[in-house]
Amino acid sequence: MYQHYTSDDFYYMSSLRFARMPFFKGLVSCSSKKLKHIKNAIRSRFIPSQYYSIRIKYPTSKMSNLSNRKIAVVTGASQGIGYHVSRELAQHNYKVYACARHTEAIEKLAENFAEGVIIPCHLDISKVVEIKKFKEKLGLELPGQRLDLLFNNAGQSCTVPAIDVTDAMVEQCFQVNVFGHINMCAQLAEFLINAKGTITFTGSLAGIAAFPFGSIYGATKAAIHQYARVLHLEMRPFGVRVINTITGGVATDIAEKRPLPDHSYLNFKEGIEAFDRRREMAKRNHPTPVEEYAKQVVGDILSSRDPLDVYRGKLARLLTLVYTFLPYWLIEWGVEKKFRLHAAYKVLREKQH
């Protein structure tokens, strides 16, 4: 059975709690309050999945008036944080230019909203030529040349022992995580200034904490934290807010997929085990669900506060405090224990003698 629900069927605002109309015609008839329970029942396979397929069409009546919407650009919108933030923004009266190199998932997401609410855009932020072309497109399309939000989020991991890293790895990671965002800000600044808009960055705990094999990724994030800090200062006269979200663990697919390089000095059993444990760090630490994280960061954007750093995601605030106040020798001892590095370190010490 295939059901295509539109605004005529029910009234879907920012959460299912606001649904007003009966749902699951012919299958279940329910009041809006019960929607959540039905959703859970489906999730728990109480209703076998072959009996339903739901496409939620967001209401056109209240939310499709494009001229009333604020305008956002989100990078890294094809999955994970950027995808969910794009959806959340669209539900909160934003028109979203959702950018990534692969746009299939964004095109599907856009179908859930009225036409023109989410605009999938192919954009590789590591290529300045593409950013300039994107700017030209916005220049033609933005009413009054005004952009309300630039959500700098695209990112790539780079988990590799610090001395095993290759030129190509460093370059790729910095191109996306640092240069790409800097170029986006520089190119789109005039639109943001026109709107007295907001610039956000998806920073990371990795830019503050020393996670093993995270030197390059951590360096990119530390760099973007500092860029955000100075940008916050320099945008003040224009009334443009800059928010850096120091992000802890969030349940996405960002974990490193590449194995330990063949030439690595850690290429022995204990070393490989330590490396693999580190790659699974996020999964093992009960990361914050990405939907919840997206709601929080959109809440930060919608609020009128102008903080530099906000702390979102698993352990973001706690670990920042730990790194601020504890002596470094104690932190390193803790990290060695947490990631069970001692077995690998023992082998390395023995090899030296």
Ligand X SMILES: NC(=O)c1ccc[n+]([C@@H]2O[C@H](COP(=O)([O-])OP(=O)(O)OC[C@H]3O[C@@H](n4cnc5c(N)ncnc54)[C@H](OP(=O)(O)O)[C@@H]3O)[C@@H](O)[C@H]2O)c1
Could you confirm whether 265 is annotated as catalytic? no
126-145 positions binding ligand X, by CB under 6 A? 126
Measured in whole angstroms, the distance separating CA 243 from the mean position of its chain's CA atoms is 14
Could you confirm whether 328 is annotated as catalytic? no
Burial-class residue 26 by CB neighbours within 10 Å (0-12, 13-18, 19+). Answer: exposed
Written as one letter, the residue type at 33 is K
Q: How far is the CB of 293 from ligand X (least distance, A)?
A: 8
Choose the stretch contacting ligand X; rule: CB under 6 A; options: 22-30, 124-132, 158-166, 260-268. 124-132
Q: Could you tell me the two tokens for 257?
A: 């997929």
CB 239 within 8 A of CB 196: yes
Question: Could you say whether residue 214 binds ligand X (CB under 6 A)?
Answer: no
In 324-344, which positions are buried (b, 16+ CB within 10 angstroms) versus exposed (e)? Answer: eeeeeeebeeeeeeebebeeb
Site string for ligand X, 74-113 (x = CB under 6 A): -xxxxxxxx-----------------xxx-----------
Residue of 154, 160, 195, 310 that binds ligand X (CB under 6 A): 154
Question: Could you say whether residue 176 binds ligand X (CB under 6 A)?
Answer: yes
Question: Could you say whether residue 218 binds ligand X (CB under 6 A)?
Answer: no
Question: Could you say whether residue 242 binds ligand X (CB under 6 A)?
Answer: no
d(CA 160, CA 166): 9
For residues 72 and 114, which CB has a smaller minimum distance to ligand X in the complex? 72
Q: What is the 3-state secondary structure (H, E, C) of 146-200?
A: CCCEEEECCCCCCCCCCCCCCHHHHHHHHHHHHHHHHHHHHHHHHHHHHHCCEEE
Q: How many CB atoms lie within 10 A of CB 177?
A: 28
Q: Could you tell me the two tokens for 165?
A: 């890293």
Question: Could you say whether residue 199 binds ligand X (CB under 6 A)?
Answer: no
Q: How far is the CB of 111 from ligand X (least distance, A)?
A: 18
Question: Could you say whether residue 207 binds ligand X (CB under 6 A)?
Answer: no
Catalytic position from the list 70, 95, 221, 295 = 221
Three-state DSSP at 75 gives strand
Q: How far is the CB of 288 from ligand X (least distance, A)?
A: 8
- What residue ranges bind ligand X (CB under 6 A)? 75-82, 100-102, 123-126, 153-156, 176, 202, 204, 247, 249-250, 252-254, 282, 287, 313
Give the residue numbers marked as catalytic: 78, 217, 221
